[in-house]
Structure 1
């Protein structure tokens, strides 16, 4: 059985993305994908090998595209000074809303499917390594933003950037990304977007906590020291 061509795989993943966004990963089946796409079960298994691998590829494609967009938005406003560094963090925090405008099904799927749901014995090592490589890319972006803001990239400062770029957008946009809609497109209103930007700027008015100093080892402690 011939393997589907690359553009056919992309179309197949587009259909799978929509199915997972609409019904969640628990209800997603190869049979359902075959019915929705017109591609046979055998061709789907030939292309991906198993359902876990298919879901992993699907998540990687969406997560990679999202991170590419996030970096693109940061690069567009980051000019090297403090003010542009703040706006770069605001841009990174706004990325989920921009991604939802461009790729609604992918944005909804990323909220619905957690990566830890995909990692298991059936996922090949290569796929797991690609997922962890995305983690490293995200950490590199957070570190870059932290250095641009404060000239440091310790755990405490990166945690503040993470609050702005990950935690706040998740809290503000999650309802819009998970609520049912008539056409499958999440509605993230202008008010929510502006309030997120205001919240991020407010968080960044405070400096990060001081970096925690490593505790001395017993051998390094001098007699009489506390």
Structure 2
């Protein structure tokens, strides 16, 4: 029986997360990540094969962790929790939020690794399916979920229900307003409006 790896995938990704969140993608070299981890560079190449694969795996892990709470709120029919998930998650996970909000995936990996195409597609499909199911349940007569503008939240963004969240992929923060209507707007309406923005 072989001994467990001293530098497992999650430890390597945690070190990559810290370096990337602090210094951006350009700072996230294999040497810098290995130094943060206290591991030889060869351990990182043995585990991931390339810097692109390591950082793409990190980005995918961040997306999955963000989406877990968002999808759970949608599956529970909790519009308020889904609408507030982005700012809450960003406050609770500042390093992962920095990676997702400040950098596009192509900033991390110049060439997206083929072995991560299917997992990323599955993540996007999971979020889109949860959003569609929620929209159908919240507004069964609406046709919003079949609109060509319908998008799924890959990462924290203005499209994921927050009125002041930075746009996915970095860049400027957008504000999306609701049309003026008398009376309060419930969380279900907020969720539908911001996912269609």
1:129 maps onto 2:118 in alignment: yes
Cα drift, residue 102 of structure 1: 3.4
Instruction: Kindly provide the CA deviation profile for residues 24-68 of structure 1, in whole angstroms up to 9, marking residues without a partner as x.
Output: 112211111111110111111111000000011001111111111
Q: Give TM-score, length-normalised by structure 1.
A: 0.62
Query: What are structure 2's unaligned runs of at least 5 residues?
Result: 171-183
1:135-177 CA distance string (max 9 Å, x none): 2112112211211222143217846x97xx84255651339xx
Q: TM-score, normalised by structure 2?
A: 0.70
CA distance in 2, matches of 1:158, 1:149: 16
Larger radius of gyration: 1
State how far apart, in whole Å, the 2-side matches of 1:5 and 1:54 are.
17
**C-alpha distance 35-116 of structure 1, shift in aligned 2 (>3 A):** closer
Which has the larger helix fraction? 1
Paired with 2:105 and 2:185, the residues of 1 have a C-alpha distance of 26
The 5 Å alignment of 1:47-58 reads 47-58=47-58
Matches within 5 A, 1:121-200: 121=111, 123-151=112-140, 152=143, 153-155=145-147, 158=150, 166-167=157-158, 169=161, 172-174=164-166
Count of residue correspondences: 170
> Does 2:50 correspond to 1:97?
no
Given candidates 99, 111, 119, the residue that maps to 1:109 is 99
